[in-house]
């Protein structure tokens, strides 16, 4: 079949200053994944490399560009899920790692575990020869200024100094063999307590994939997303509706109505059709839908 991929760069109050870089970052991530798919790569490889390209892009809160915790640390969460085997791999609160999603993939493929956290995750990344990168490399712009101020004074500015929040990146892909996969990665929420883990690395919440239905990746405020298991909820709606946009809309309605949550979700179904929905002011996404030939990169409002 013709492959498809959809990516998101977060659902939040994306400021005008980040609109263009977010759109071009999502477009480039979708193209990276799609090029891999048409050259025969698996859905897992395409989803992971699309997310890795957004982790390398400081416009997004994942990998380079991640937000700072209350203790001046960068603690990142990521997951990958394979819809064929139903296996997943995840890291949570991992530090000093440029591409947490690649470590998550390694955990899925090389261990019997589903998730490693904190020091243990970093030790695994070291053992697998993933390059360590210092906190100053992961922090950019406002977050780097914040970190330098923290090192100088021992005091971080508080959240009230900032407008809007930042969020999560993700990708969902279906490959030529009709297998689906998804991946999600985040720096979490700004000024979080060290050790706080949100939805992104939790199976069913930040991502879910099942070859019988499709694959989904979520973004938004993690605590509420976990309450409604947003990605699995979106896949469950898709199983009934066979309409990815409609399934995403129903899942976001559940998030909104049941827990007053804010977020977005993207999906690709096993037929290669993509869908999105969000209830935040803006959401950045891009897709290449092989079955229709449609391509788009945009900020949805
Ligand atoms: N969705 C990202 C987080 O809450 O950590």
CATH code of residue 83? 3.60.20.30
Atom of ligand 1 nearest to the CA of 219: 1
Mean pLDDT over residues 181-207, rounded? Answer: 95
Q: Does 158 score more than 60 pLDDT?
A: no
CB atoms within 10 A of CB 287: 28
Nearest residue (by CA) to ligand 1, atom 4, is: 222
DSSP of 45-112, one letter per residue?
HHHHHHHHHHHT-TTSSSSTTPPP-TTS---EEEEEEETTT--EEEEEEE-SBS-HHHHHHHHHHHSS
Summarised one tens digit per residue, pLDDT across range 243-266 is 999 999 999 999 999 999 999 999
Of 32, 42, 97, 168, which residue is the catalytic one? 168
| Per-residue pLDDT tens over the stretch 106-129 | 999 999 999 999 999 999 999 999
Mean pLDDT taken over the chain = 93
Higher pLDDT, 271 or 69: 271
Judge whether residue 160 has pLDDT over 70.
no
pLDDT tens figures, 215-224:
999 999 999 9
Q: Is the CB of 75 under 6 A from ligand 1?
A: no
**Of the residues 220, 223, 226, 231, which should be mutated to test ligand 1's pocket, given the most ligand atoms within 8 Å of the CB?**
220
Q: Flag whether pLDDT at 156 surpasses 70.
A: no
Domain region containing 231: 4-300
32 is catalytic: no
Counting the structural domains of the chain, the total is: 1
pLDDT at position 209, please?
98
């Amino acid at each position: 079949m013709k492959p498809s991929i959809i990516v998101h760069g977060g659902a939040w109050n994306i400021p005008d200053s980040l609109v263009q870089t977010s759109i071009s970052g999502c477009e480039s991530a979708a193209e990276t994944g799609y090029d891999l798919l048409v050259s025969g790569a698996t859905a897992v490889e395409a989803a992971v490399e699309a997310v890795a390209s957004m982790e390398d892009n400081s416009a997004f809160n994942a990998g380079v560009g991640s937000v700072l915790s209350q203790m001046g640390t960068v603690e990142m969460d990521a997951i990958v899920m394979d819809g064929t085997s139903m296996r997943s791999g995840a890291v949570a609160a991992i530090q000093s790692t440029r591409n947490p999603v690649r470590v998550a993939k390694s955990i899925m493929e090389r261990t019997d575990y589903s998730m490693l956290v904190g020091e243990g995750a970093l030790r695994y990344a070291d053992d697998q020869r993933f390059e360590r990168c210092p906190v100053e490399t992961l922090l950019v712009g406002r977050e780097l200024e914040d970190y330098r101020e923290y090192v100088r004074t021992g005091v971080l500015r508080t959240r009230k100094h900032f407008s809007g929040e930042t969020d999560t990146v993700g990708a969902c892909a279906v490959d030529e063999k009709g297998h689906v996969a998804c991946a999600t990665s985040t720096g979490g929420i700004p000024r979080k307590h060290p050790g706080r883990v949100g939805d992104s690395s939790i199976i069913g919440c930040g991502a879910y994939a099942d070859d019988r239905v499709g694959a989904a990746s979520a973004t938004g405020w993690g605590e509420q997303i976990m309450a409604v298991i947003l990605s699995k909820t979106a896949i469950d709606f898709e199983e009934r509706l066979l309409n990815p946009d409609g399934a995403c809309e129903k899942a976001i309605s559940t998030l909104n109505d049941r827990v007053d949550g804010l977020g977005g979700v993207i999906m690709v179904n096993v037929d290669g059709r993509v869908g999105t929905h969000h209830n935040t002011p803006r959401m950045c996404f891009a897709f290449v839908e092989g079955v229709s030939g449609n391509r788009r990169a945009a900020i949805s409002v």
